[in-house]
Chain A
Amino acid sequence: MTTMLDPAAPASPTATAPQRVTQARVVRSEWTKLRSLPSTAWSLLTTAVLVVGFGALYSMVRVTRPPRQPAGVASFDPTTISLSGVQLAQLAIGVLGVLLITGEYATGMARTSFVAVPRRLPVLWGKTTAFALTTLALCVPATFAAFLVGQSILAAEQLDTTLDHPGVARAVLGSALYLTAVGLLGLGLGGLLRNTAGAIASLFGVLFALQIIVGFLPETWSSQISRYLPAPAGIAITGVRPDPTSLGPWTGFGLFCLYTAIVLGLAAWQLRRRDA
């Protein structure tokens, strides 16, 4: 550690670029931040492993007990079985979304980020873009892999299906879209609350606790309300068969995206308003 700056020489060969902050540059910066944290890589890997691994595991379980009754055969949904890992993976990706922001607040990195980008909002949009693209790039292959692995296992009992059946390709792609949206919901909650524990608790509350609470309401109410809750609405896109109790796949997913957008909007409003 003996290297010194010669005080007589300029501290640097004068930097030449105009050095303006642009949204595209901040997206690149956020991508660098994302890929340079080992914990992020592990969370993303966990998500992919859960999607493929749990799907394969559940397919193996189901193939040992194939449906025999006509009703069981009719309701057997090989796509949903092979994609069952999405239910677990949403926790991993949601928590990662939270940590991408709360990790910066907890370590003081947020201040460094906002000195570099004092208008602040480009940081939030940069994170959103970099994280959404990364998650999609990971989850689209993961859900298709889970589908193919699951079907190859279910094929042992001729229970498998293919991507050209109606709704199947949409469900597989939709699972990746849903995981991405959950990640962004976590990101928004992290930005809004700035606290890891609080944001993770809120995420789980939004995804699970709301349904439990609504379940306590009288049957006629709960069946009407629950389809509009975030998790049931969002998960609609991952099913193949139309379910009369839930919203249509794209309507439901659209509603989930709207909820996510509202949370991100609130996070943006707080970001401008509050001290960093």
Chain B
Amino acid sequence: MIEVRGLTKRYGGKVAVDDLTFTVRPGVVTGFLGPNGAGKSTTMRMILGLDAPTRGSATVNGKPYREHAAPLREVGALLEARSTHPGRSAYHHLLALAQTCGIRRSRVDEVIDAVGLRGVARRRAGGFSLGMGQRLGIATALLGDPRTVILDEPLNGLDTEGIRWIRSLLQGLAAEGKTVFVSSHLMNEMALTARHLIVIGRGRLIADAGVEELVAGAARNRVRVRSTDPDALAALLRSPEVAMSHAEDGVLTVSGLSTDQIGTAAAAAGITLLELTAQQASLEDAFMTITRDAVEFRAPTATGAKR
């Protein structure tokens, strides 16, 4: 369980994280989404006690992270970029971390095997590909068999197989009852991995909801209609609640109406439909919509202030 309350971080005059409040619960994968520079890494560093908040607090399993006597038992973390010394082998990197809290040596071999780095464990980490570096980061996070896992952009640099591997790994950890908190800017990937999402933009909380809820609430589902007479169909469907746009020849994209409603209306007017497809909004669409809303929310206040 991670509890973030009123967390704020200022660097000089610039606000990186602005009054964030959210809770990450055990048992599900929670995605932490936001465009680059939104403050995800800063927030994670504050949770891990690496950066001190300007205001507010972050606790892990009930205590500030720094106060835990057995920290690697509480949290395993994959930090942004590579947080390993390039001259040291993966094995010795993990061994040194294990020794800080008396984790046995055989556990180091276990996590190396678990992430598939056995063949290169004795080679210097500086020669690793980005994907191998991420696997080493995952091994670091799993080392203490922690109750909470915090991963900053674990999907970066991974191929399709690696992404699938992480996805099943994270879901497995959550199924064991662990708290799993994963940041990413890859919205669609998060839709497949996470059950709950926390979205931030410009350091502020934009959304804190389940994936389905977020997609359903933020983006209206669209219907693609191809017909013999798109203009007549458009005139027929027009109403204040309905948005339409012409796509390629003869195709209309309609939002605000279901396929049933469109099909019935077309049949009644005698318009022949050649295609009628419901298009599920992707998380990416939802994300674009809610972040745009956050920007639009600011614009009128600015003009209002001028008046």
Instruction: Tell me the A residues contacting B by CB distance below 8 Å.
Output: 1-15, 17-22, 25-26, 28-30, 32-33, 36-39, 103-104, 107-109, 111-119, 275-276
The reply on B101 being an interface residue by CB < 8 A is: yes
CA distance A22 to B72 in the complex (A): 13
A25 touches B107 (CB 8 A): no
Q: Which chain A residues border B145 with CB–CB below 8 Å?
A: 11-12, 14-15
CA distance A28 to B96 in the complex (A): 8
A12 touches B50 (CB 8 A): no
Query: Tally of A-B residue pairs with Cβ under 8 A?
Result: 166
**A104 and B100 in contact (CB under 8 A), knowing A3-B115, A12-B142, A115-B75?**
no
A36 touches B168 (CB 8 A): no
CA distance A59 to B110 in the complex (A): 55
Chain B 165-184 against A: per-residue CB contact (8 Å), 1 yes, 0 no? 10011011101100000000
8 A-B pairs with C-beta separation under 8 A: A2-B161, A11-B114, A17-B103, A28-B99, A36-B93, A109-B85, A115-B79, A118-B66
Q: Which chain B residues border A114 with CB–CB below 8 Å?
A: 49-50
A118 touches B71 (CB 8 A): yes
Quick one: which of B52-94 are within 8 Å of A by CB? 52, 65-66, 68-73, 75, 77, 79, 81-89, 92-93
**A29 and B85 in contact (CB under 8 A), knowing A3-B116, A276-B51?**
no
Q: Count of B residues near A, CB < 8 Å?
A: 64
Nearest CB to that of B115 among chain A residues? A3
Smallest CB separation, B234 vs chain A (Å): 48
A21 touches B71 (CB 8 A): yes
The reply on B104 being an interface residue by CB < 8 A is: yes
Smallest CB separation, A118 vs chain B (Å): 4
B97 touches A36 (CB 8 A): no
The reply on B252 being an interface residue by CB < 8 A is: no
Q: Which chain A residues border B176 with CB–CB below 8 Å?
A: 10-11
CA distance A9 to B76 in the complex (A): 18
| Other-chain residue from A10, A36, A107 in contact with B96 (beta carbon distance below 8 A) | A36
